[in-house]
Amino acid sequence: MTDFDLHIHGKYSGGVSPEMKIPVIAEEASKKGLDIVGTGDILNPKWLHHVKEETEQRDGYLERDGVRFVPTTEVEDEDRIHHLIIFPDLEAVEEAYRDFQKLSDDIRREGRPRIKACGEKIVEIAKKHDCLIGPCHAFTPYTAIYGHKDSLKECYGEQTGKLDFLELGLSADSGMASKISDHDDLIFLSNSDAHSPWPHRLGREFNRAELESESFEGLKKLFNGDSGSMELNVGLDPREGKYHCSACNSCHQKYSLEEAKGFDWSCQECSGTIKKGVKDRIEELSDREPGYGVDYLHLPPLAKIIQLTVGHSSPTTKTVQRKWESFNEKFGEEASILIDEEIDNLSKVDEEVAESIRKFREDEIVMIPGGGGEYGERILPENREEKQNIIEENRPEIKCRYRHE
């Protein structure tokens, strides 16, 4: 099995950790258990030079310290819609750069360049160079396809049939995306969009697949249905997202879609503006019941689970990190700890954390969903009775409805 995360950013992008450099990414990817990682930002000349300097070029991938990299980038089109491009090799990167440079004013300085063209043109250029391409974080409200368009066709036109995948992003899972029949021929990807290399960011969402080869060609054959199989998407619960429910952008009061429309998108608590949530946007677009043949496992990174278990404010505190290191020293790769290792074995390191992992695996937690720019909240109940009490006390919020006094 191959675990991979194909969407990250490098140190030359805005808002990205200076530690996002290939040697550190490779080291942290090994701890996480990622076999393949996208380079991110590969059209940026400085980052391209860095990647060339810090990796060995192989047949269909780049390598650093046993981790395989494939060249990738995120680009923004003229409608502010983001697209993920995966390149077959660095030669294709340099050739595509010449085409994209003609349509961009910031490609030399930005990690995620703005391309003065529509999605249809971007796919056309990507396919000219034998790239794989699909929409990034497809359901986020501001910079994604369904924040601006009602269908893939509206964005990609005659090139729609050439799309290879749809990236779910942190705001959706495969169950939500499969409500739209437009997506039937697309592989769903769960990628991290990481801006720092630490295991609670890198690979916070990842994919598990059986690949014919751990290379660009292996990914291409997987996406085209020629060989290999997707086995698992792993990622955060979409209810944790800042825009899951329709909610006020100022006070974060939640509303159902019917309530928001009835109130003309004006908050009844503070007169702020209600922002339509991802949940309601998908309901508007859905044309069937959910159904996707690949399981989606709602699992936050191990450091986040430890943080929640011990009640600390950050996954980077010394206590959290010491416990994380004790699991890593005993069992190795984090992906295996989260998914594969027996709970009884994990309990030998830390019983409380092991029990928390079990609860996440078996969906025994309570999520108070986010909305209006505020993240959702995870609650780990002690038992089923406490879980039911928490649900009853927070039912309007959990259901994304206005709590009438």
User: What digits encode the pLDDT tens for the residues 287-322?
Assistant: 999 989 899 999 999 999 999 999 888 898 999 999
Rounded average pLDDT over 139-165? 96
The parent domain of residue 36 ranges over 2-237
Rounded average pLDDT over 148-168? 98
Per the CB < 8 A criterion, the answer to whether 189 and 231 are in contact is: no
Q: Is residue 267 part of a domain?
A: no
C-alpha–C-alpha distance, residues 208 and 206, integer Å:
7
How many domains is the chain partitioned into structurally? 1
Q: What is the predicted pLDDT for the residue at 321?
A: 95
Q: Is residue 72 part of a domain?
A: yes
Residue 202 has pLDDT above 80, yes or no: yes
Q: What is the predicted pLDDT for the residue at 383?
A: 87
Per the CB < 8 A criterion, the answer to whether 182 and 145 are in contact is: no
Residue 404 has pLDDT above 90, yes or no: no
Rounded average pLDDT over 240-267? 96
Residue 90 has pLDDT above 70, yes or no: yes
| Token representation of residue 325 | 């290191």
Q: Is residue 65 part of a domain?
A: yes
Label the pairing between strands 67-70 and 36-38: parallel
Q: Is residue 20 part of a domain?
A: yes
Per the CB < 8 A criterion, the answer to whether 129 and 87 are in contact is: yes
Better-predicted residue by pLDDT, 270 or 404: 270
pLDDT digits over 168-177, tens only? 999 999 999 9
Residue 150 has pLDDT above 90, yes or no: yes
Q: What is the predicted pLDDT for the residue at 405?
A: 47
Indicate the pLDDT class of residue 403, thresholds 50, 70 and 90: confident
Q: What is the predicted pLDDT for the residue at 185?
A: 92
Residue 192 has pLDDT above 80, yes or no: yes
Q: In Å, how far are 27, 170, 228, 232 from 291, measured between CA atoms?
A: 37, 19, 20, 14
**What's the CATH code of the domain at 221?**
3.20.20.140
Percent of the chain with pLDDT over 90: 95
Rounded average pLDDT over 144-171? 97
C-alpha–C-alpha distance, residues 147 and 143, integer Å:
7
Rounded average pLDDT over 157-165? 98
Rounded average pLDDT over 388-392? 93
Q: Is residue 22 part of a domain?
A: yes
> Which are the contacts of 242, defined by CB distance < 8 A and separation ≥ 6?
370, 371, 372, 373, 374, 375
Q: What value does the mean pLDDT of the chain take? A: 95
Angle at 180 between CA 3 and CA 263, to 5 degrees: 115
Q: What is the predicted pLDDT for the residue at 384?
A: 87
pLDDT digits over 330-362, tens only? 999 999 999 999 999 999 999 999 999 999 999
Q: Is residue 335 part of a domain?
A: no
Q: Is residue 192 part of a domain?
A: yes
Q: What is the predicted pLDDT for the residue at 4?
A: 98
C-alpha–C-alpha distance, residues 217 and 93, integer Å:
16
Q: Is residue 215 part of a domain?
A: yes
Q: What is the predicted pLDDT for the residue at 312?
A: 86
